[in-house]
Amino acid sequence: MAGSVHIGFAKLATPTKGTIFVLTDKTLALSETASKVAADFPATLKKAAGTAKFEGGVLKLLDLLAPAGSSADRIVVVGLGEPDKMQLHDWLRLGGKIGGALASAEQVTIVLDRADAIPVEADQAAALAQGLALRCYRFDKYKTKPPENGTPAKSVKVTISTAGNVAAARAWKTESAVADGAAFARDLVNEPANALGPVEFADRLLALKDLGVVVEVLDEKALTRSKMGALLGVSQGSVRPPRVVVMTWKGGKAKDKPVAFVGKGVVFDTGGISIKPAAGMEDMKGDMGGAAAVAGLMHAVAARKAKANIVGIVGLVENMPDGHAQRPGDIVTSMSGQTIEVLNTDAEGRLVLADILTYIQKKAKPTHIVDLATLTGAIIVALGHHHAGMFCNKDDMATDLAAAGTHTGEKLWRMPLDPEYDKLIESKNADMKNIGGRWGGAITAAQFIQRFVENETPWAHLDVAGTAMGSPASDTNQSWASGFGVRLLDQYIRARFE
């Protein structure tokens, strides 16, 4: 993450230098503090707004360069529309809008003072700061020339001036930890596959120890001893050995069982012998988006010292088509003892999830399980790129996850689970097959995974194929990798388990 932005909070005051952001509403009113940023600024604003047809609408900006009567380089007026109607996610998006308008600024002050004299709340200020930080993320470690797209290329100091600066700074300490977790996930997804194989991915996760996370890495010998035949079958065509990483955060009561988060980590997916078409295959470096989200979540909960017991597990493999690769028609035995007929080697993510689900249930006996996977193209056909598919065996858990998605803007749409779909993955030669035919592909994949959830443990499967990578640019993300799931699941933990 280059072009880092350093965000701090200060008491409400009128700045005089650098780039200054001030708030207005649909009436174009200004607070007393904002009106003093330049001589006769209210009149200047109304004249400029008329010329630019700026009406103070929510998330709209009016940029004034070298404004008369001020020593500031720029004054940017930020529209709130009707401030009382803004939800917390709107403040996050507003921060993203501001982040997109920083350009070459080096010193920035955001005056968070509403014209109606109603104080901006601490969580709103922190959400704005998080949106700004998320927007300013950039993955350019392999570029040898500076960018030309207006994104800050060097360190920018941003001061948020607000009446509740102490409370806002406290809230930002938590939200910045989550933003860092999302950036960590984005970095992992954006890395090229030649730089990030299973071993390198596992090595990256060892850094979580510095935050107090207990990290255990299982190598190929350990996976063989654990009889993870489904996962090992996926990896056997690659010269790069598989890894499984278990990450444990103990922030709750010692006797409490943890909540488990499970991530598919196929660092590159050619499809194996059932090889994918060449066009677009380069995107398959992101087929570990679920594992990246789990890693980012563990970073977030540890950095903010979450008061809950959390365990994350990721299965890291590469799916390649060499002479040792798994063949269509092979039958493998999963760690659970259930046998699987592999009819399509490109339906590999569910095989990885099957074994790590069994492992974490035996090891940690979690109270709830959420798995994340860039699992199917079918979910993109169904939902596009703006919702992730959610499959869940408990209504109350589905409600909690959907609420967390609405709160953060990482939206979920519940999809069906039903025994009728289960029939589609019955095999004549094994306990099940790994594909269910053309129709309902995301659903049959979820039905497959559900067979490895034991004792009716509350479980949700999030198919993030359309949201973890290559999703449309947004106010808070201009990167190919979105980090989808980190903020969503952190909010789920806060609301449900802390």
Q: Which residues are catalytic?
A: 276, 350
Tell me 276's DSSP state: P
Cα–Cα distance, 121 to 133 (Å, whole number): 19
302: Cα within 13 Å, side-chain hemisphere: 25
Tell me 284's DSSP state: G
| C-alpha torsion 328→333→336→341, nearest 10 | 30
**Pairing between strand 412-414 and 388-392?**
parallel
Those residues with Cβ within 8 angstroms of residue 468's Cβ, 6 or more apart along the chain or in another chain: 189, 286, 289, 290, 292, 293, 372, 374, 481, 482, 484, 485
Tokens of 479: 């990167």
Tokens of 8: 């701090």
Whose CA is closest to 280, among 483, 142, 139, 469?
469
Question: What is the full DSSP assignment across 203-223?
Answer: HHHGGGGGGT-EEEEE-HHHH
Are 22 and 60 within 8 A, CB to CB?
Answer: no
Whose CA is closest to 281, among 184, 371, 346?
346
